[in-house]
Amino acid sequence: MIKSAKTKMGDWVFVFICILVALICVIPMLNLLARSLSSADHLIRHDVYLLPKGLNFDAYKKVLGDPKYLRSFAWTAFLTLAGTLISLTMTTLCAYPLIFEGLKGKGFINILITITMFFNAGTIPNYLLMKQLGLLNNPLVLLIPSCLSVYNMIIMRSFFYGIPDSLRESAEIDGASFFQILVKIYLPLSKPVFATLALFYAVGRWNGYSDALMYITEAKYYPLQLLLYNILNNINSVEIAAQEGFTQPGLSDSLKAATVMFSTIPILMIYPWLQKYFIAGVTLGAVKE
């Protein structure tokens, strides 16, 4: 099709808008990176924009030499890994049986699950439950109470529905049990949905801080985001500042930037590779049965 000059012109307008939008997304990150790599003098003079001035890696060296930060980083990485594994298992356990038409009580279980999407007991009842279960200040509280998301379960179930019934039926004729069908047919075909949900759960755990804020008071169990929150709000500043220079003007700026940068890098490195999966996942979640 031959395009008119007007149409071509229009194409460029849209390209221009998109470049602008992309810049708005990227500039804060560039500024963060620049600050983390700049010298204290420049930061005090407020003349660091998108490129580092007085390039140095001192802030990163400080962050990497800070046992408290490293500990929290490793702890959060562990929580993320463990949490994602638990969540994927639970999600599969919940989604798979519910695709069988013949399952008695399926309607009831669906209602039981759906209600929880719309009505939550509330912050305080949940808090009192954790207290009753002895989960306050217990690291398990960061793994178990949020281990199953109904939204993600629906995504996985939609994906399972998309696997042809004929595959399952032929296996059933061959005498395969439901366990065998899950392990031999469904799991091997479900890599895309596992990739998507692993990303969703991992991001949720890596970025989450409200559960730790409410249920954990012992600093050694703080996940990274809560530690960051405290640093940014100068909570515990006395303790941190004493050793690490968090109140020294300029240095404090680059230290904060390096800390934030370091906490963001893992996710920024992973998500672009999973783009095609999570797009499919979000789309699946939006489709109603």
Interface residues for another protein in 58-87 (CB under 8 A)? none
Count Cβ atoms below 10 Å from residue 59 Cβ, excluding itself: 27
Q: Which of 225, 221, 260 has its CA nearest to residue 63? A: 260
User: 86 to 145, contacts with another protein by CB under 8 A?
Assistant: 90, 93-94, 96-98, 100, 102-104, 109, 112-114, 116, 118-129, 133, 144-145
Selected from 55, 78, 169, 210, the binder of another protein by CB under 8 A is 210
> Is the Cβ of residue 81 or residue 112 nearer to another protein in the bound state?
112
For residue 242, the minimal CB distance to another protein (Å) is: 22
For residue 239, the minimal CB distance to another protein (Å) is: 19
- 203 forms part of the interface with another protein (CB under 8 A): yes
User: 250 to 279, contacts with another protein by CB under 8 A?
Assistant: 253, 256-257, 260, 263-264, 267-268, 271-272, 275, 278-279
For residue 15, the minimal CB distance to another protein (Å) is: 7
Rounded Cα distance between 158 and 285, Å, is: 7
Rounded Cα distance between 233 and 252, Å, is: 13
- 207 forms part of the interface with another protein (CB under 8 A): yes
Selected from 154, 208, 222, 255, the binder of another protein by CB under 8 A is 208
For residue 191, the minimal CB distance to another protein (Å) is: 20
Q: With contacts defined by CB under 8 A, name the span among 40-48, 61-69, 72-80, 240-248 that binds another protein.
A: 40-48
- 33 forms part of the interface with another protein (CB under 8 A): no
Return the structure tokens found at 53. Answer: 């001035």
Selected from 88, 182, 212, 240, the binder of another protein by CB under 8 A is 182
Chain mean position to CA 112: 27
How many chain residues touch another protein (CB under 8 A)? 91
Selected from 2, 14, 67, 173, the binder of another protein by CB under 8 A is 14
For residue 75, the minimal CB distance to another protein (Å) is: 16
- 185 forms part of the interface with another protein (CB under 8 A): no
Question: What secondary structure does DSSP assign to the chain, as a single string?
Answer: -PPPHHHHHHHHHHHHHHHHHHHHHHHHHHHHHHHHHS-HHHHHTT---SS-SS---HHHHHHHT-HHHHHHHHHHHHHHHHHHHHHHHHHHHHHTGGG-TT-TTHHHHHHHHHHHHH----HHHHHHHHHHTT-TT-GGGGTSTTS--HHHHHHHHHHHHTS-HHHHHHHHHTT--HHHHIIIIIHHHTHHHHHHHHHHHHHHHHH--HHHHHH---GGG--HHHHHHHHHTTTTHHHHHHHH-TTSTTHHHHHHHHHHHHHHHHHHHHGGGGHHHHHHHHHHHHS--
For residue 35, the minimal CB distance to another protein (Å) is: 7
User: 231 to 250, contacts with another protein by CB under 8 A?
Assistant: 232
Q: With contacts defined by CB under 8 A, name the span among 39-47, 68-76, 190-198, 237-245 that binds another protein.
A: 39-47
> Is the Cβ of residue 57 or residue 97 nearer to another protein in the bound state?
97
Query: Which residue bears the tokens 């703080």?
Result: 222
